[in-house]
Amino acid sequence: MVDSLGAVASLGDLARLLAVPLLGWAALRDIRTRRVPNWVWYVLGILGIVLLVTDLLYWYPFNTYSTNLMLIRVAISIGFVAPLCFLFYLMEGFGGADLKALLALSILFPTYPAYYPPITLVEMGVPAILPYVNTRIGVFSLTILTNTVIVGIASPLALAVRNALSGRFGSRCFLE
């Protein structure tokens, strides 16, 4: 799709932007109340399924290298990332809302979305494609999961450092 400014993105990737405010609201609600209504995950899941089916129909008949690569990325996202998230949930590494969010993201964003800024921004040094990524696998949900695990590991360490600098020591210094 091309707009008057020359920005380009697939219709699916533009539609995926609809999920971002809802994901932000769900994250804020999770932080404030520790509860996210299930309808949020149904909406995101249905949107993800519709967009994934639309993408698959667009890529069909899967006879090029790029379409086969997209299928592999979708398979990794749904067949590896989603079950791995469920395993982390069973090990109590994630809460219920975290699991549902990551499952929705594995369907909604199995590959990196691509947005092309107007040529004027490219001339100013903005990368020609956003988000600017250079990954070997190209599975967006795997990147989100990896970053989640890194932040999850770093958070208790950051709390401990903050508490130590404040002179607070004890068994709960990694938790509060």
Give the mean model confidence (pLDDT) for residues 115-123: 70
C-beta separation of 74 from 52 below 8 A: yes
C-alpha span between 76 and 112 (Å, rounded): 13
With cut-offs at 50, 70 and 90, classify the pLDDT of residue 100. Answer: very high
Scanning the structure block, which residue is given the tokens 């006879």? 63
- Mean residue pLDDT across the chain: 85
> Where is pLDDT greater, at 11 or 176?
11
Q: What region, left, alpha or beta, does residue 39 occupy, with left being phi > 0 and alpha being psi -120 to 50 degrees? A: alpha
H-run or E-run covering 115: strand 115-116
pLDDT for res 1: 45
With cut-offs at 50, 70 and 90, classify the pLDDT of residue 8. Answer: low
C-alpha span between 1 and 58 (Å, rounded): 14
Tell me what percent of the residues of the chain surpass a pLDDT of 90.
Answer: 49
Residue 80 neighbours by CB under 8 Å, 6+ apart: 142
C-beta separation of 41 from 104 below 8 A: yes
pTM for this prediction: 0.79
Give the mean model confidence (pLDDT) for residues 9-31: 89
On the question of pLDDT at 9 being above 80, the answer is no
**What CA–CA distances, in Å, run from 67 to 64, 84, 111, 154?**
5, 25, 12, 37
Q: Out of 49-63, 96-110, 119-133, which region has the weakest mean confidence (pLDDT)? A: 119-133
Residue 101 neighbours by CB under 8 Å, 6+ apart: 23, 26, 27, 36, 41
